[in-house]
Amino acid sequence: MQNRKSTAIRRQQIVDIIRSIISSKGIEHVTISEIAKKIGTTKGAIYRHFKSKRDILSLLIDNIEETLMEAVDNALVEKDPIQNLKNILLAQLTLAKNRRETSFVVIMGALQFGDPFIRKKILKLIQKYLKRIEKLILNAIELGLLKKDVTPKMSAIVFMGLIQSTITVWSYKNFNFVPEKVHSQLWDIYRKGIGIKQAQETTHQEKTKRK
């Protein structure tokens, strides 16, 4: 039992190191030698936990998927889909600030890895995330909070892009930002982009609270 626990801890440590390497140096620097150097162990010790670089990246993607989906689930606390979108945006900015979490940066970096299996797995994760956002936007359209000519799929891509680009920029500045302030500015841009009027947004939130 203790051995299993130690293995899980070591594997998670390796995943965290890979995130750091991809974020700071790029996917090309993710090597067994670099990982072993960062942890302070031997290459043989790494191979005891993973058979190849593909195995390492596969676990990394699973770990990122769990983190992203958990952040989305925890943010869905309202009946209002627009408010839930705002919650997700703030949750992911806060996660980036507090945990130096750069999931979107790591995903884009790992996509550069030429392995078809890894690329397919990443694309599947991105599609899963976008579907969750797209569903909220569709719900907002059905409730009359957005115009019917809004394209849910493209709006979801823009939403993800805002988060990815913002976190990428701040990752180079040691995440020295205030999530609430950045959130307010980003949401204002996104709100206007998909046609949510601030007055309409406030009115619907008040109605939802009364229910």
- Listing DSSP states for 104-144 in one string gives HHHHHHHTTS--HHHHHHHHHHHHHHHHHHHHHHHHHHHTT
C-alpha–C-alpha distance, residues 32 and 30, integer Å: 7
The helix (H) or strand (E) run that includes residue 182 is helix 179-193
* 188-195 mean pLDDT: 92
Q: How many percent of the chain have pLDDT more than 90?
A: 34
Poorest-confidence range of 10-19, 64-73, 114-123, 153-162?
10-19
| Per-residue model confidence as pLDDT tens digits over 77-111 | 888 999 999 999 999 999 888 776 567 767 776 77
C-alpha–C-alpha distance, residues 30 and 206, integer Å: 49
Return the CATH number of 52-192, one of 1.10.10.10, 1.20.1250.20, 3.40.50.300, 1.10.357.10.
Answer: 1.10.357.10
Of 57 and 209, the structure prediction assigns the larger pLDDT to 57
pLDDT(178) > 70: yes
Q: What is the pLDDT of residue 85?
A: 95
| pLDDT mean across residues, the chain | 83
Domain spans, the chain: 1-50, 52-192
C-alpha–C-alpha distance, residues 193 and 187, integer Å: 10
**Cα three-residue angle 112-116-120, rounded to 5 degrees:** 85
Closest C-alpha among 157, 140, 151, 156 to residue 196: 140
Cβ(163)–Cβ(86) under 8 Å? no
pLDDT(205) > 80: no
Q: What is the pLDDT of residue 174?
A: 78
pLDDT(199) > 70: no
Q: Looking at the domain 1-50, which fold is it?
A: Arc Repressor Mutant, subunit A (1.10.10)
Q: What is the pLDDT of residue 46?
A: 84
C-alpha–C-alpha distance, residues 42 and 26, integer Å: 22
